[in-house]
Amino acid sequence: MLGLEDLEIGVMFWAGQDARKTLHAAKSFGVRAGQLGFPGELSLEGAAEKWDEALNAQQFLAVTAVCSYVGEDYTDIPSVQRTVGLVPPDTRDLRIARTKSVSDVARQLAIDCVACHIGFVPHNPEDRAYTEIRDVARDICDHCGENGQSFTLETGQEPAKVLLRFIEDVDRPNLKINFDPANMILYGTGDPIEALDLLGKYVISVHCKDGDWPPRDWPEALGTERPLGAGSVDLPRFISKLKEIGYRGILSVEREEPDPERRAADIRKAIELLKSLTGRASAAIV
């Protein structure tokens, strides 16, 4: 297995039908590790064998298996509340099964972390919907635990205090956080740097992504994602805070730009920016 350095720079990328081609594209950024996302519509039949062969052939380390689900809609906050993650009851059972299947594939790939957007956790712990999603998280944590994995929740859709209480209520040692500073800004749920003071001990993976706050005159809108360093995250302060709380894991660049050429250019610029902020002469070139 590849040994990663502290704060090594990687990328967040999504599995395609051709595993080798997908990994070749990820490695073209000069990195040797990253988070592997499994789109909801991607068949998992034979996925473990295909990705095991490709990861070994490319000498690339997937540190997290990220789940997404068919039918998710990130158009605005009401759409996210209605469709995203494991909270919506109409799609819950299928998505729980999908998450467990991704966990099983990840186990065969020696990936010890499974992540997802769980959805909007209700703020009231007495709400039936809250106790239901708490029990769902316990169930998935237990499944991941049997596979030797952490189950990580991506930040953004609830304030840090709500997420902290939820993690404490789930009460599973392998429930952790994939910290995305931009998401907290995009959803308007709080300053991500301040959130790290509350959530830091649970953070085992990080997205390096940027964005601006939602417009004040449209409360149901999401903010706008920006290239890393061009938004409101304050990346130097974010990296400094990660070091302060003792985070030593991977920094996975994520850019959700639909134009592939612009996305690739933004990722390359992001990697150069992170090199300068982490004191690296280069990313970990294979």
Element (H, E) at 140: helix 128-146
pLDDT tens profile 75-91: 999 999 999 999 999 99
Q: Return the pLDDT at 105.
A: 99
Tokens of 24: 């070749």
Which CATH number does the domain 9-278 belong to among 3.40.190.10, 3.90.105.10, 3.20.20.150, 3.40.50.880? 3.20.20.150
The CA distance from 127 to 131, in Å, is 7
pLDDT of 236 strictly over 50:
yes
pLDDT of 74 strictly over 80:
yes
Residue pointed to by tokens 């990580």: 152
The pLDDT of 21-40, averaged and rounded, is 97
Burial category of 164 from C-beta neighbours within 10 Å (exposed 0-12, middle 13-18, buried 19 and up): middle
Contact 72, 118 (CB under 8 A): no
For 3, list phi and psi in degrees, rounded to 5: -95, 125
Element (H, E) at 9: strand 9-14
pLDDT tens profile 106-138: 999 999 999 999 999 999 999 999 999 999 999
Q: Return the pLDDT at 3.
A: 80
The dihedral over CA atoms of 256, 239, 150, 15, expressed in degrees to the nearest 10, equals 30
Average pLDDT, the chain: 96
pLDDT tens profile 128-179: 999 999 999 999 999 999 999 999 999 999 999 999 999 999 999 999 999 9
Contact 82, 22 (CB under 8 A): no
Sequence spans of domains, the chain? 9-278
pLDDT of 1 strictly over 60:
no
